[in-house]
Amino acid sequence: MKQLLAAILMAGIVAPVSTMAHDDPWLWLENVEGENALAWARGQNERSLDHIQAHELFEPIHERALEILTSDDRIAYPALRGGEVYNFWRDDEHVRGIWRKTSLDSYRGESPDWDVILDVDALAEREERNWVWAGADCRYPDYDRCIVGLSVGGADAAVRREFDLQTREFVEDGFRLDESKSSITWRDHDSVFLGPAFTDEQMTDSGYPRTVRLWQRGTDLAEAETIFEGEKGDVGVFSARIHDGDDHYDVITRAPSFFSYEYYLFEDGQVKRLNVPEDADLAGVIDGQLLVDLKSDWTLGGRTFKQGALVAGPVGSFLEASPSLELLIQPGERQSIDGVDTTENAVLVNLLDNVNGKLLSFAREDGGWRQRELDVPEMGTISIVATDDRSNRFFYDYTGFLTPSTLFEADALAGSQREVRSEPAWFDAEGMEVAQFEAESADGTMIPYFVVMPREYEADGANPALLSAYGGFEVSRTPSYSGVTGSAWLERGGVYVLANIRGGGEFGPKWHQAALKENRQRAYDDLIAVSEDLIDRNVTSPDHLGIQGGSNGGLLVGAVMVQRPDLYNGVVCQVPLLDMKRFHKLLAGASWMGEYGNPDDPEQWAYISRYSPYQNVSAEADYPKAFFTTSTRDDRVHPGHARKMVARMLDQGHDVLYYENIEGGHGGAANLKQRAFLSGLIYAYLHDRLASEDAGEDED
């Protein structure tokens, strides 16, 4: 998501100009596939594409991006099921992709012998549907049947069909759901947990299922037994069977808000509430121990387990008033848990230490938990890719800004590991450097950020610099290698900056909670502080500084653009939230009120209205020529946000650019060719705005 806020003065925020609740002249642009709205979008596309595609760098960047994104030299990342390796793959021949598998021994070799299970391109051609792969849930433990998801154009809503891995055919009389945001997961051989979301009555205000039903094979969907029902105002209700060796637990999760949960155990036909804090995350089950990731302090029996800790206790004890807890890890002040996974006998914790990755392993020994730190590469990002619940084998990925992704196979207990494969260097990083700095935000908090410097870099204030951040939903932004960014930007003399602002999860729950609701402005202050620090250090200057963000990050860059247009000459705002008066009424927006607040509450609207970009954008301000992108098929963040913002700015006399992909979902692109095209547009725009000799000089 992205941010777009309003306030043009150097200090503080201007008051909102109007609520525009009923007199919004651009409301018709919220009609996603309305004839007039699509005609408007196509007209803006034509105008903007004519401008950007005329830039001399568009075609070479586009072609190189397509070469990188479709290369056979990319890592085919594994998923482990029943001792075999599964992978979903797209390339220039398979635009929509193929689902395939191979043996573990074959996968370890240089050229695995892949067995294609499902060709989505062929299926799309045969059924005359623009199918986009939406994942597969396979039946444990044999993995002989899967519920395959297929979306139209990349939307979150998808068709779900039962697929037979032996015959490689969809099961004619199997489980099947029409296009919707319904949920369906395997329970056992002949039943599934169903969360229907076809009608308003079945859905929450956020558009997700509000009931859990038990659907038996061979019965009509309407006959599925309701075993749990949430409230209309909930985010949603979901269910899954969690396997723990030969045991299993049926867990139902009710989410009253985005950051509050009620967990229930369904056993012997009864639903039993688990005694877990409402803001905690269930991180898994291993050897009968329930893992809980704490987002706030939890005091039990006179002992307090602190915010950010990972604790565990016997599953049955969570049905009691005081669960029996043990502490696995309490991260330090500049640390946070970035992920928890399990193997057969170990718990893997991906730990961020000052935004650099570490990997810890925990196993029960002599009635307690023993911790080991695994030997992984330093100063980069660690991501656990796949684990095996029948062994302690797992795969992890290592990457850094200048280090191509490398895949390792490791043992969680023995600590042994081997490099399986790595991607080639997509750009020449010789002479480039990475540094980590801090900027002081408005309230005195120090905000860390990374700077990737191209070769022959000099701190002369003339470097084109692209600053990216997210700052929301406890999502951490960490160093990663991008062949597209490297070849399109770094190799061509650009500086890349990644800011770890509040609202994210880089330093644990408190870092996220510091920018919630009435404190949202802190995230925007943080990005402004990093921008000013870059200028003070002569890394760049306002004529050469641009910002980029998507989704909540789109709200971020939109807000900062409106508040401090003097700092930037380029803004890339992708699939953004912008109209914060109506965000909760559009698609999945109601689910995000836990992050931003409720605009219908006058007290909460009072602080939301101060930064909402759509309400605060002004005809009197001098904004940089921003580039907004969205997708017609985005059914998570409504394309009306970007459409209406651009229409309002154009009406006010501002020069802005706009591109709407007619498909693509919340990612903005439905396939690799579309991703390459969008990359070409974005980086050509950035070079035009930030790297040209006349940067800072707009046409009349």
Whether residues 455 and 573 fall in one domain: yes
| Residue 666 maps to a domain | yes
Give me the pLDDT at residue 3, please: 29
Statement: residue 12 has pLDDT above 90: no
- Look at residue 53 and give its three-state secondary structure: coil
Whether residues 431 and 300 fall in one domain: no
| Residue 337 maps to a domain | no
Q: For a pLDDT cut of 70, what percent of the chain falls above it?
A: 95
Whether residues 435 and 299 fall in one domain: no
State the pLDDT confidence band at 33, using cuts at 50, 70 and 90.
very high
Report the distance separating Cα 172 and Cα 492, nearest Å: 54
Whether residues 434 and 314 fall in one domain: no
Statement: residue 459 has pLDDT above 80: yes
Residues 49 and 55: beta-carbon distance below 8 Å: no
Whether residues 317 and 447 fall in one domain: no
CATH number at 569 reads 3.40.50.1820
Summarize pLDDT for 638-651 with one digit per residue, the tens. Answer: 999 999 999 999 99
How many CA atoms are closer than 13 Å to the CA of 367, on its beta-carbon side? Answer: 1
Give me the pLDDT at residue 97, please: 96
Statement: residue 267 has pLDDT above 60: yes
| Residue 450 maps to a domain | yes
Whether residues 310 and 445 fall in one domain: no
Whether residues 514 and 635 fall in one domain: yes
Whether residues 297 and 443 fall in one domain: no
Whether residues 561 and 685 fall in one domain: yes
Average pLDDT over residues 136-140: 97
Report the distance separating Cα 333 and Cα 507, nearest Å: 7
Domain end position, chosen among 322, 355, 378: 322
Give me the pLDDT at residue 693, please: 72
| Residue 86 maps to a domain | no
Residue 623 in tokens: 């904004």
Summarize pLDDT for 559-595 with one digit per residue, the tens. Answer: 999 999 999 999 999 999 999 999 999 999 999 999 9
Smallest CA-to-CA distance from 580 within 559, 563, 562 is with 559
Query: 545-550 and 465-468: which strand pairing?
Result: parallel
To 5 degrees, how large is the angle CA 280–CA 81–CA 479?
Answer: 55
Q: Is 503 left (phi over 0), alpha (psi -120 to 50) or beta?
A: left
| Residue 360 maps to a domain | no
Give me the pLDDT at residue 18, please: 37
Statement: residue 14 has pLDDT above 70: no
Summarize pLDDT for 489-499 with one digit per residue, the tens. Answer: 999 999 999 99
Q: For a pLDDT cut of 90, what percent of the chain falls above it?
A: 91
Summarize pLDDT for 518-531 with one digit per residue, the tens. Answer: 999 999 999 999 99
The structure tokens 């016997």 sit at 314
Whether residues 527 and 661 fall in one domain: yes
Residue 318's domain comprises: 274-322
Statement: residue 513 has pLDDT above 70: yes
State the pLDDT confidence band at 16, using cuts at 50, 70 and 90.
very low
* Cβ-based neighbours of 332, under 8 Å, separated by 6 or more: 353
Summarize pLDDT for 347-386 with one digit per residue, the tens. Answer: 999 999 999 999 999 999 888 899 999 999 988 999 999 9
Q: Looking at the annotation, which residues are catalytic?
A: 551, 666
Whether residues 316 and 439 fall in one domain: no
Report the distance separating Cα 501 and Cα 496, nearest Å: 16
pTM reported for the whole predicted model: 0.92
Q: Name the average pLDDT for the chain.
A: 93
Summarize pLDDT for 47-85 with one digit per residue, the tens. Answer: 999 999 999 999 999 999 999 999 999 999 999 999 999
Give me the pLDDT at residue 7, please: 25
Q: How many CB atoms lie within 10 A of CB 596?
A: 26
| Residue 649 maps to a domain | yes
| Residue 356 maps to a domain | no
Domain end position, chosen among 322, 347, 378: 322
How many CA atoms are closer than 13 Å to the CA of 226, on its beta-carbon side? Answer: 10
Least confident of 401-410, 442-451, 661-670: 661-670
- Look at residue 506 and give its three-state secondary structure: coil
Give me the pLDDT at residue 696, please: 64
Statement: residue 22 has pLDDT above 80: no
Residue type, 510: K
| Residue 587 maps to a domain | yes
Residue type, 351: L
Give me the pLDDT at residue 13, please: 27
- Total count of domains within the chain: 2
To 5 degrees, how large is the angle CA 647–CA 649–CA 654?
Answer: 130
Report the distance separating Cα 359 and Cα 365, nearest Å: 19
Give me the pLDDT at residue 662, please: 83
Average pLDDT over residues 279-293: 97
What order of strands is seen across the sheet that includes strand 281-286? 281-286, 289-293, 310-314, 326-329
Residues 243 and 251: beta-carbon distance below 8 Å: no
To 5 degrees, how large is the angle CA 281–CA 473–CA 483?
Answer: 110
